[in-house]
Amino acid sequence: MLLLKAILFVLIAEIESGSTSSAKGNEEAKTELPPDSYINVTDEDGCWYLQIVDIEGGSFMGFLALNCTKTCPNGQNEIVVDGNRCTGSLELLDGAKVNVTVGSCALGCCNPDSPPQHRTIPLMSAAEDEEENKSKDKKKKIKMKKKIRVRTRRRRSRTRRTRKITRTRMETKLKLTIMHSIIKYKLKMKKKIRV
């Protein structure tokens, strides 16, 4: 029984040292990350933790917590919600990309997925976001200008058609009025001739 307790103690110590070493590795890698590449998430109690944007193959996958613990204003640490996606390990590649092992938060530790998911994620910076937003805004403005041009062209063609139709109607009305007047005149003349 004593041997079983000793083995259990060694296993627990090994597991704890493994999870703290990956957390320490994340802390070291986090300090190497460019400051505008991660997002500071703050909850209603003022506790905060850092996360990065998870992009795989150009598509948005969500967010990954860099650490599964939150730092609170009172100096204590709280755990991030269990099940949140996180970075089990993080390695800065070239300043613009990181290699991460994706996992899930559980009791303040990031447990890597099984089978492990390794991803190379491009780091987003605030400057890139601004440029991206500016280019999107520019594209929207260009689309709006094109739509306005198309609408204007349609209106012009409608007004031309309307004018043409109106002119044609007026001409037809005038012709009918003239023909009606001629017919009336002829009828009057026939009546005069008969009498």
pTM for the model:
0.49
Please check whether residue 54 lies inside any domain of the structure: yes
Please check whether residue 194 lies inside any domain of the structure: no
What are the residues whose beta carbons fall under 8 Å from the beta carbon of 179, sequence distance 6 or more? none
Closest CA relative to residue 22, chosen from 72, 83, 87, 79: 87
pLDDT at 117 over 70: yes
Q: Which two tokens stand for residue 170?
A: 């007026």
Total number of domains in the chain: 1
Cβ-based burial of 55 (10 A; exposed 0-12, middle 13-18, buried ≥19): middle
Q: What is the pLDDT of residues 47-83, one digit of tens each?
A: 888 888 887 766 777 888 888 888 888 888 888 888 8
Cβ-based burial of 78 (10 A; exposed 0-12, middle 13-18, buried ≥19): middle
Please check whether residue 107 lies inside any domain of the structure: yes
Rounded Cα distance, 38 and 149, in Å: 42
pLDDT band of residue 125 (cuts 50, 70, 90) is low
| Residue 117: domain span | 2-124
Closest CA relative to residue 121, chosen from 181, 57, 179, 41: 57
pLDDT at residue number 178: 86
Give the chain's mean pLDDT: 75
Please check whether residue 44 lies inside any domain of the structure: yes
Please check whether residue 150 lies inside any domain of the structure: no
Q: What is the pLDDT of residues 8-53, one digit of tens each?
A: 665 665 665 544 444 444 554 455 677 777 788 888 888 888 888 8
Closest CA relative to residue 26, chosen from 67, 54, 70, 63: 67
Please check whether residue 140 lies inside any domain of the structure: no
Please check whether residue 151 lies inside any domain of the structure: no
What are the residues whose beta carbons fall under 8 Å from the beta carbon of 184, sequence distance 6 or more? none
Please check whether residue 50 lies inside any domain of the structure: yes
pLDDT band of residue 128 (cuts 50, 70, 90) is low
